[in-house]
Structure 1
Amino acid sequence: MLDVLKNPTYKNLYLAQVIALLGTGLITIALALLAYDLAKDQAAQVLGIALAIKMIAYITVAPVASAFAERLPRKTVLITLDVIRALTALCLPFVTELWQIYILIFVLQSASAAFTPTFQAVIPDVLPEEKQYTKALSLSRLAYDLENIISPILAGLLLTLISYNNLFVGTCLGFVFSAFFVMKTTLPVGKAPPFKGVLNRIKQGSRIYFHTPRLKALFALNLAIASVSAMVIVNTVVIVQTVFQLSEHATTFAFGAFGLGSMLAALYLPRVLEQRPDKTVMLTGATLLCVCLFLGTFISNYSLLLALWLIMGVGYSVAQTPTGRLIRKSARPEDRTALFAAQFTYSHACWLLTYPLVGWLSSNIGIMFVFIPMAVIATIAIVIAYSIWPKNDAPQVSHHHDKLSPDHEHLLLKDEKGNHSHDYLIDEYHQKWPR
């Protein structure tokens, strides 16, 4: 899997991602501790609101920003957004009121909403071969997982020397070094589609997303994934420090257990995806998540929590990692930025629902009872995804074009049986998926 790092362009981009994620991991833990410090027993609700604001920024900014970003130099866009994130993170140690958290989180995550789809759309151009791209996806998942492990450990060590407010400085440094590695890289020039207006580009990503069956199924899976991650991110600090009466360090290790499970799954996924279709792998991972949520009600001690978080990390990685493969095979190169932005937007719309829902339920029905309603939501989402996703999700689809003349050049694309067949993508010739 590591042979993909022999590509110098991807190596620099990967280093930029890893370092930025390390800083992001510190801010996640510091934000949870800051919320607990300011709101005590209401920390889950406060953190839920803060994360909901993050999702609002992602949903509103990502599609608009991607429409502009795809027409600007990629390197300039990525470096500028990293600088904005670094400066914003530097302001967080001085927060004394909850409303200040909310404003700074919106600014920081608005920059991330523009950064992530642009970054994701670059990778398929750097690694056009599917096998290499799959390895890159697993390495990317591994980077997220290492962040979930290393960041809590690093945070735990730093907390013995400094206050949690100083963890935000680590976030700032992560974004600065990310910008440095992007600056060192020569990025491929993206193929920009004819510009027909910002609104049209926003609509194009959504049009592809909701007219491609595998992506509609992905939208449902996003809800199942969000149901689990909301439980982990919003409630870990409260379960550990309020229910089990443990320390901040125990909270960081609980986050680390979730990351460890996800990392272990990511190491084996490239081999699994060579032998099993994306649909089978992703639905299996989502089902495991659902089972874990039902089991969460029976957690009675910290050891069981760590074991459950570890298994949920495995399911999380298995369900989410192949997402980039689905996006890549569902759009032309010039439409990938718009489609990655659509996935970014709609996946975070699911988190926008689940983050405040988990926070509200935790404050009103009790922390340990929240597992059941979230498990029910995840189960419904999995059933919908399974019913929508075609049984035979082959790239090439035989179809007809009633509105094209028989001698149209597009109709020259045929299979060995003489039928008009090719990799089916939603574009100007294909507005809807054939039955």
Structure 2
Amino acid sequence: MKQAIFIRAIWEPFQSLRQKAFATLYFAQTISLLGDAFTWVGLALLSYQFGRENSAVILASALTLRVIAFIIFSPFAGVLADRVDRKKILYITHFIRMGIICCLPFVNAEWHIYVLVFLLNVFNAFFTPTYKSIIPQVVVKKNYRQAIGLSTATFQLLGVLGPGLAGIIAVWFGPRDIFFIDAVSFILAGILILMLPAKLINKPTALSSQKTLSAWADVVKGAKLLFGNRLIRFSLAIEFISAIAGAQILVNTVGHIKSGLLLGDTQYGWVMAAFGIGAAIAAFVAGNLDKSKSRRVSLIVGVLLLGLSIAGANYVSYTVFLVLWLIAGLGQSLAEMPSETLIGENIPSDEQGKVFGSHFAFSHLWWAIAYPIAGFTGSRFPGNDFLYGGFISLSILVIALLFSLKNNKK
């Protein structure tokens, strides 16, 4: 009986794929997310080509520019999606991103990487919130929660599983040619976007005609709603800690594998695959592990697993390192997946668009802070970078728990 319930819980979100329009949108976004993973792994290996010992700083700088673009532009993208033909936003930004990706194999200077990464993610910042705003328009109300759940799980899952898959592919194609594979994924996703029924996803003109909205007022209101809820506020604190630890993994793993353990691209690919497998396992069972209103157990256990896993990573063999990254993947999914669910459950449906946009910006702000920290530990303490990253993460967790307990007593 329990096994049947468990299987039904896993497969329930996939019921929303019975609606053709949503299935088309979902698979377009899934392919696009996988392409983003190819981009990240290619950048990691390309950064190592440019500066070996300096690779952590190059990669951290590039990824910091990535999240800065998200922070600046994504809050306004949700507002734009309410006023402009959403299908146009999707396919225009999508094909521009494809063109930028095709330039990456030909870079021959560090600053080329920085410029292209920033431009790429300016258009990413408009694509993702627009995608989220379309889901309610192409899904019937009774399947909306399933669709949001599947979309969120896939976004979180491929964010960590994708680099592992891309790392394995990079072994076959090399650090530069992987960008061409990335471009092919963009073409496939672009075809699906063009197939979307435009009549379902044009801007809601009836709403636009009722009142003139202030873009800045919407952005501010989204942030106030996001931080005004106690449960969501705690999950955001856990997301920040998860970003601190996760950035250590994304930035410093390639340097540790190649310079610390003296191994190659193949071993790097398998390590990132282990991280992704752990995340995949957690993504599909997280909802069954913690069904509480606050998701507090999932959040705390997840960030503990993540912080403890990286703390000892500098001093273990390759085999143990694989196991630690598997556990770290479990922890990251458990720590990050509850946030969007909490938004869906605690924010009124007519306010969710601006709140999701605000969450997208703030969750990337955490990474904008975390990447430079990872770059600093990787360049200044190459033999102890994970130890210091784990110590910082666990210290902030203690502070967050103390503040949470204090607020609960009030």
**Equivalent in the alignment of 1:155:** 170
Q: Within 5 Å, which residues of 2 pair with 1:210-225?
A: 210-225=227-242
Question: Residues 111-131 of structure 1: CA distance to partner in whole angstroms, max 9, x if unpaired?
Answer: 111111222233355364435
Instruction: Structure 2 unaligned segments of length 5 or more: list them.
Output: 1-10
Counterpart among 360, 363, 367 of residue 347 in structure 1: 363
How far, CA to CA, are the matches of 1:216 and 1:150 in structure 2? 33
Question: Residues 267-312 of structure 1: CA distance to partner in whole angstroms, max 9, x if unpaired?
Answer: 2224335577523222221222222233334x32211211111100
Name the stretch that deviates more: 140-149 or 79-88. Answer: 140-149
Question: Residues 322-358 of structure 1: CA distance to partner in whole angstroms, max 9, x if unpaired?
Answer: 2221222233334322211211111111111111111
2:283 touches 2:333 (CA, 8 Å); kept in 1?
yes
TM-score (norm 2): 0.87
**Equivalent in the alignment of 2:152:** 137
1:267 aligned counterpart, secondary structure: helix
How far, CA to CA, are the matches of 1:121 and 1:272 in structure 2? 29
Name the stretch that deviates more: 177-186 or 22-31. Answer: 177-186
Counterpart among 111, 120, 126 of residue 114 in structure 1: 126
Over 3 Å counting, the alpha-carbon distance change for 1:383 and 1:134 in structure 2 is farther
Q: Within 5 Å, which residues of 2 pair with 1:204-353?
A: 204-274=221-291, 277-297=294-314, 299-353=315-369
Instruction: Structure 1 unaligned segments of length 5 or more: list them.
Output: 393-434
- After TM superposition, give the deviation of residue 250 of structure 1 in Å: 1.4
Number of positions where the alignment pairs a residue of Structure 1 with one of Structure 2: 388
Over 3 Å counting, the alpha-carbon distance change for 1:137 and 1:156 in structure 2 is same
2:245 touches 2:390 (CA, 8 Å); kept in 1?
yes
2:310 touches 2:389 (CA, 8 Å); kept in 1?
no
Paired letter, 1:34 = L
How far, CA to CA, are the matches of 1:69 and 1:207 in structure 2? 20
**Equivalent in the alignment of 1:91:** 103
Name the stretch that deviates more: 315-324 or 360-369. Answer: 360-369
Over 3 Å counting, the alpha-carbon distance change for 1:373 and 1:135 in structure 2 is closer
Question: Residues 198-257 of structure 1: CA distance to partner in whole angstroms, max 9, x if unpaired?
Answer: 211211111211222222212211211101210111001100011111111211111111
Of Structure 1 and Structure 2, the greater helix share is in 2
1:25 touches 1:147 (CA, 8 Å); kept in 2?
yes
How far, CA to CA, are the matches of 1:379 and 1:17 in structure 2? 36
1:152 touches 1:253 (CA, 8 Å); kept in 2?
yes
How far, CA to CA, are the matches of 1:308 and 1:93 in structure 2? 32
Q: Within 5 Å, which residues of 2 pair with 1:39-50?
A: 39-50=51-62
Paired letter, 2:342 = L
Paired letter, 1:170 = I
2:223 touches 2:358 (CA, 8 Å); kept in 1?
yes
Question: Residues 10-34 of structure 1: CA distance to partner in whole angstroms, max 9, x if unpaired?
Answer: 2212211221122111111111111
How far, CA to CA, are the matches of 2:179 and 2:384 in structure 1? 30
Name the stretch that deviates more: 84-93 or 68-77. Answer: 68-77
**Equivalent in the alignment of 1:179:** 190
How far, CA to CA, are the matches of 1:276 and 1:17 in structure 2? 29
2:384 aligned counterpart, secondary structure: helix
Over 3 Å counting, the alpha-carbon distance change for 1:75 and 1:389 in structure 2 is farther
Quick check: 1:70 aligned with 2:96? no
1:57 touches 1:106 (CA, 8 Å); kept in 2?
yes
**Equivalent in the alignment of 1:408:** none
Paired letter, 1:265 = A
**Equivalent in the alignment of 1:424:** none
2:263 aligned counterpart, secondary structure: coil
**Equivalent in the alignment of 2:72:** 60
2:33 aligned counterpart, secondary structure: helix
**Which contiguous aligned blocks of 4+ residues in structure 1 show a shift greater than 6 angstroms?**
389-392
2:212 aligned counterpart, secondary structure: coil
Over 3 Å counting, the alpha-carbon distance change for 1:108 and 1:50 in structure 2 is same
1:216 touches 1:385 (CA, 8 Å); kept in 2?
no
- After TM superposition, give the deviation of residue 317 of structure 1 in Å: 0.8
How far, CA to CA, are the matches of 2:194 and 2:291 in structure 1? 34
Paired letter, 1:289 = L
**Equivalent in the alignment of 1:366:** 382
How far, CA to CA, are the matches of 1:228 and 1:253 in structure 2? 19
Over 3 Å counting, the alpha-carbon distance change for 1:136 and 1:104 in structure 2 is closer
- After TM superposition, give the deviation of residue 50 of structure 1 in Å: 0.9
1:25 touches 1:151 (CA, 8 Å); kept in 2?
yes
How far, CA to CA, are the matches of 1:189 and 1:213 in structure 2? 35
Question: Residues 165-213 of structure 1: CA distance to partner in whole angstroms, max 9, x if unpaired?
Answer: 1211122222222222122223456765743322112111112112222
- After TM superposition, give the deviation of residue 106 of structure 1 in Å: 0.4
CA-atom RMSD, angstroms? 2.5
Paired letter, 1:6 = R
Over 3 Å counting, the alpha-carbon distance change for 1:343 and 1:14 in structure 2 is same
**Equivalent in the alignment of 1:103:** 115
TM-score (norm 1): 0.82
Give the greater-gyration-radius structure (CA): 1
How far, CA to CA, are the matches of 2:34 and 2:375 in structure 1? 25
1:165 aligned counterpart, secondary structure: coil
**Equivalent in the alignment of 2:3:** none
- After TM superposition, give the deviation of residue 366 of structure 1 in Å: 2.6
